[in-house]
A and B are shown apart, each in its own frame.
Chain A
Amino acid sequence: DAGITQSPRHKVTETGTPVTLRCHQTENHRYMYWYRQDPGHGLRLIHYSYGVKDTDKGEVSDGYSVSRSKTEDFLLTLESATSSQTSVYFCAISAGGPTDTQYFGPGTRLTVL
């Protein structure tokens, strides 16, 4: 596995509560991504980062925010969790950006009740 960890690995929360997921990498890769994976759908990009404090939206960014204060850490925050945000969340990294291969973390399973 590429040096990517995600925490927590599992979380159950209630509707309306804020939730923060963490992705940590030891590869010193510039680009980091957050995806969600739902049954019957391909992976969908939520947000990505192309450097410290540089982030941009993906195709399903509503209800999510991100922050990257250090190269190794990329945080995903659900401002006010909803049941539609129940999903498995994956972090990915790539060295050279959108033209480079992405490597994935182990995922976080989030359940919003």
Chain B
Amino acid sequence: EDQVTQSPEALRLQEGESSSLNCSYTVSGLRGLFWYRQDPGKGPEFLFTLYSAGEEKEKERLKATLTKKESFLHITAPKPEDSATYLCAVRTKMDSNYQLIWGAGTKLIIKP
């Protein structure tokens, strides 16, 4: 069964304390891995798409990387405004159908 697991469920960091969020997946055919940010009371906001192992993408203090089994979202010197829930989703293809499988998210809290 295709599955996406995010860890940890929650992460509390001090401002400036770098860390990583993990998205591990077991799917039959990866057709892209997505990272989104979600603020309380709002819809998910698209951050990155990764397609192949070894690929990396960066945006401000965030860098996403992809291996054959997992993706990491590295946060360098975070600020309080980086506090949000980060969602990972994997797109798979079975026969002629695509589907998007979502992880439950990691809630990140950055304390000033």
Q: Do A and B bind each other?
A: yes
Determine if B4 and A42 form an interchain contact, defined as CB atoms under 8 angstroms apart. Answer: yes
What size tier do the contact residues of chain A reach? 10 to 19
Chain B: how many interface residues by the 8 Å CB criterion?
Answer: 24
Q: Are A104 and B101 neighbours in the complex by a CB distance under 8 Å?
A: no
Interfacial chain A residues near B98, Cβ < 8 Å: 98-99
CB distance A45 to B41 under 8 Å? Answer: no
Residue numbers in B under 8 Å from A106 (CB-CB):
41-43
Contact among A40, A45, A101, A104 with B43 in the assembled complex (CB-CB below 8 Å): A104
Partner of A40 from the list B4, B45, B99, B104 (CB cut-off 8 Å) is B104
Cβ contact within 8 Å between B49 and A101 = yes
Say yes or no: A107 contacts B91, CB within 8 Å: no
Interface residues of B (CB under 8 A from A): 4, 31-32, 34, 36, 41-46, 49, 87, 89, 91, 97-105
* CA of A103 to CA of B45, assembled, Å: 7
Please tell me if the beta carbons of B100 and A102 are within 8 angstroms of each other in the complex: yes
A35 vs B44: C-alpha distance when bound (angstroms): 11
Encode contact with B along A78-113: 1 for CB under 8 Å, 0 otherwise.
000000000000101000001101111111000000
A99 and B31 contacting across the interface, CB-CB below 8 Å: yes
List the A residue with the shortest CB-CB distance to B88. Answer: A42
Residue of A nearest to B101 (CB): A42
